[in-house]
């Protein structure tokens, strides 16, 4: 089974880079030919090209919820996300909608998609470091992903 691990975010916006930082730690630990690790700052429809051709994908990203505590770790499947007829922004669709559109267009996308998200404290400050609360979650997410493989 060909697996993609995709770290997402922006490494110059403090905690927003957590997905990429986790992917970089995994890159040092995983030496399997059936697993590729990539980084991206893209979202929505732009992810389809990155996901095409894989059987399984593990996405890692930052998240901000109303009830979460900084550093909380969430694990979602694609089924947990809702496609919508509305755009996520004026120029983009959300991830679930992008996946539906990609499949309708015949793109071979992973059947198995897992999303790990870390509750972030600061995704606005220009910094190449995560906050302490988010930094503490990184090794935990790394271990969780290693167990998924």
What are the tens digits of pLDDT across the range 74-106? 998 877 765 544 445 545 777 888 888 888 888
What's the pLDDT at 66?
87
pTM of this prediction?
Answer: 0.88
pLDDT at position 102: 86
Q: What percent of the chain has pLDDT over 70?
A: 92
Q: What is the pLDDT of residue 81?
A: 67
The alpha carbon of residue 139 and the mean position of all alpha carbons in its chain are separated, in whole angstroms, by 16
**Rounded Cα–Cα distance for residues 60 and 95 (Å):** 13
Closest CA to 88 of 101, 107, 73: 101
For 7-16, how does the pLDDT look when each residue is reduced to its tens digit (9 = 90+)?
A: 999 999 999 9
How do the domains of the chain map onto residue ranges? 3-148
Residue 72 CA to residue 50 CA, distance in Å, equals 27
Summarize pLDDT for 36-61 with one digit per residue, the tens: 999 999 888 888 999 999 999 999 99
Q: How far are the Cα atoms of 12, 26, 56, 134, 141 from residue 4, in angstroms, in the given order?
A: 24, 12, 6, 23, 16
Contact partners, residue 14, CB within 8 Å, separation at least 6: 120, 121, 122, 123, 124, 125, 126, 127, 129, 130, 131
Q: Report d(CA 39, CA 18) in Å as an integer.
A: 11
3-148 CATH fold: Rossmann fold (3.40.50)
DSSP 69: P
**Top-confidence residue, 142 or 45:** 142
Measured CA distances, 22 to 108, 123, 137, 142 (Å):
26, 16, 9, 6
Give CA–CA dist 29/85, Å, rounded.
40
């Amino acid at each position: 089974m060909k697996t993609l691990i995709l770290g997402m975010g922006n490494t110059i916006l403090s905690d927003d880079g957590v997905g990429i930082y986790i992917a970089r730690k995994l890159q040092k630990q995983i030496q399997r030919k059936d697993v590729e690790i990539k980084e991206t700052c893209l979202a929505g429809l732009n992810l389809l090209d990155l996901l095409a051709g894989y059987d399984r994908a593990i996405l890692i990203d930052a998240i901000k919820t109303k009830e979460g505590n900084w550093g909380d770790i969430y694990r979602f499947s694609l089924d947990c996300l809702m496609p919508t007829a509305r755009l996520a922004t004026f120029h983009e669709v959300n991830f679930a909608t992008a996946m539906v559109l990609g499949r309708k267009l015949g793109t071979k996308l992973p059947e198995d998609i897992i999303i790990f998200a870390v509750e972030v404290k600061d995704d606005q400050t220009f910094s190449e470091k995560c906050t302490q609360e988010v930094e503490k979650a990184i090794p935990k997410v790394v271990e969780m992903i290693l167990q998924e493989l």
